Structures are given as structure tokens and as C-alpha cells.
Amino acid sequence: MERRVVFAGWLCPAVLLVPQMAVTIVFFFWPAAQAFNESLRRGDAFGLTTHFAGVANFAALFASPNYLASFWITAVFSASVAVLALAPGLLLAVMADRVVRGAALYKTVLLIPYAIAPAIAGVLWMFLFNPSIGVLAALLRWLGIDWNYFLDAPQAIMLVILAAAWKQVSYNFLFFLAGLQAIPPSLVEASAIDGASPRRRFWTIVFPLLTPTTFFLLVVNIVYAFFDTFGVIHNVTQGGPGQSTEILVYKVWYDGIVGLDLGGSSAQSVILMAIVIALTAIQFRFIERRVHYA
């Protein structure tokens, strides 16, 4: 006989659902609906004269070359941050997994950057690379590199990517390490007995078994690069030079808070919301098929 808890009537389940639903509605659906409503309106900041504008805000965005450029910047930025945060994380995890003595110390030290807020990470990197006072900037100058990220766009982009990725390496390291430790040692030992080299063992046994972790981290890292890197950009470049580091989420903040263009800013957040929903759906739908769940 099937063992199932059956609730009598609808009242009890409804009551049990209320807290979760309330949190979701108050903190997610309601603000999202507000943003959507605001994105269809235009008016002054004080709300004295607002009127329904249809899709005018969206049309204005897609007619703006700067907004379209921001898409490319965000794509390059997010992809680079994800790769640069995942690869070292995996490498460090594989190394730390082998360490026998002092393993706890290594792990603790490697985790420290994760405890740092993106804004602080931004300030840290800004001080290291500031063209006039940075220690590493002085080193670069000494090496003959004309370092001035206030004017040089590629340098500015590299700097914010490094600062954003650095902070996330720890997080990835932690999950990769947990993933590695969940792989049954017997599998690796069996292939070692069959004569597989460490490199071969990694790519044919360990890496495929890590794919659920890698997949999960890929999603998390891209969402991180899209949304949580605001502090890094704000503290290091403020979107400059020109608009070369103005990623989408920074532009939402800038147009809304600094520019007080609530309609345009809301339209951008609606677009951002759609992108993240689409991105997550694509990742789960297509990439997950190729993921090997142990």
C-alpha cells in the first residue's frame, strides 16, 4: 500500500503554504510587477507628471548604441569572469585534495577571499592598480607598460574581470573540493591499477564525475557576474573609461539612481530579468543533458 500523508480538505495545506508564498510575493513578485509597471511609464523623478508610454522606454533602449554596447561588454565580462573563476578554483581544489599535511590550513586560507564583499574586493584591487599610488601599477610601469586604466579601455576591462573573478575563486574551490571528495576513491584506484596516468585519470574519471558541480557552478558564476559585481565596477572604474566597463546592472543603477530616469531604468531591469530567466532555462534544458550525474 502506498504510504502517503493525506491532508483533509484544503485549509491545512493552504495555511502551510502561506509563509513561503508571502515571502515570494512580497520580495519577488511584487517588486517585479512594480518594475514592469514602471517600465511602461514615463515621467519626472518626483512622480508629479507620469503618463503611460507603452513600449517607448524599450524602444529607446534598443535604439541606443550605448545600450547595445553594454550587452557586449556584459557578455565578455560575464564569460571571462566565469572562466577565470572556475579554472583556478578547480586547479586549487585538485591540488588541495592531494594535500595530506596541513590540509585544513590550506583550505582556510583559500577560502578567505570569499568572505570579502565585492565592494571591498574592488577597493583592494583599485589600490593595488591605481596608476598614481598602486604598488602593482608601479611594478607594471617599471616593466615598461604604460598603465593607466582611467584612459585605456582594455586595461580597465581586464582589471574589473580579475577583481570580480578573484573573489569568486574561493567559492568555486569549496564546491569543487566537496565534489572531488564525493568521488569514490575505488574508481580512481581501479583505473590506476589499469595503468592510467594521473592526467588520464583526471580527464576520464574525475572531470566527468564533477560535471554536476561544474554545471551548478557555471550557473552560479554567470548569475554572480551579472548581478553581484556592481560593487567591483562602482569602486574601480564607475563604468569608464568612456563606457567600456558599463555592464548592464551598473547601467540600471546609474540610470535609475544617478540619472533619476525611473522608466528607462525599470525597462532595463525587466530586460535583465528576462535575460537571466532565459539563460537559466537554456542552461538547464541543454547543458544538463550532457551532465553526468553519478
Contacts with another protein, residue ranges (CB under 8 A): 42-49, 66, 130-133, 148, 150-153, 238, 240-243, 255, 257-261
> Any residues with CB less than 8 A from the CB of 157 and at least 6 apart, and which?
73, 76, 77, 244, 245
CB of 188 to another protein, least distance (A): 52
- Which is nearer to another protein, 68 or 95 (by Cβ)? 68
- Which is nearer to another protein, 47 or 102 (by Cβ)? 47
CB of 198 to another protein, least distance (A): 48
CB of 167 to another protein, least distance (A): 22
CB-CB contact of 242 with 153 (8 Å): yes
CA distance 178 to 236: 33
Give me the helix-helix angle, 153-181 and 207-223, nearest 10°. Answer: 140
Phi/psi for 164 (5° steps) reads -70, -40
C-alpha cell at position 267: 525597462
CB of 162 to another protein, least distance (A): 19
Give exposure, 12-40, as e/b (b: 16+ Cβ within 10 Å). Answer: eeeeeeeeeeeeeeeeeeeeeeebeebbb
- Which is nearer to another protein, 152 or 228 (by Cβ)? 152
CB of 245 to another protein, least distance (A): 11
- Which is nearer to another protein, 130 or 283 (by Cβ)? 130
Angle at 128 between CA 121 and CA 80, to 5 degrees: 55
SS3 state of residue 41: strand
- Which is nearer to another protein, 215 or 254 (by Cβ)? 254
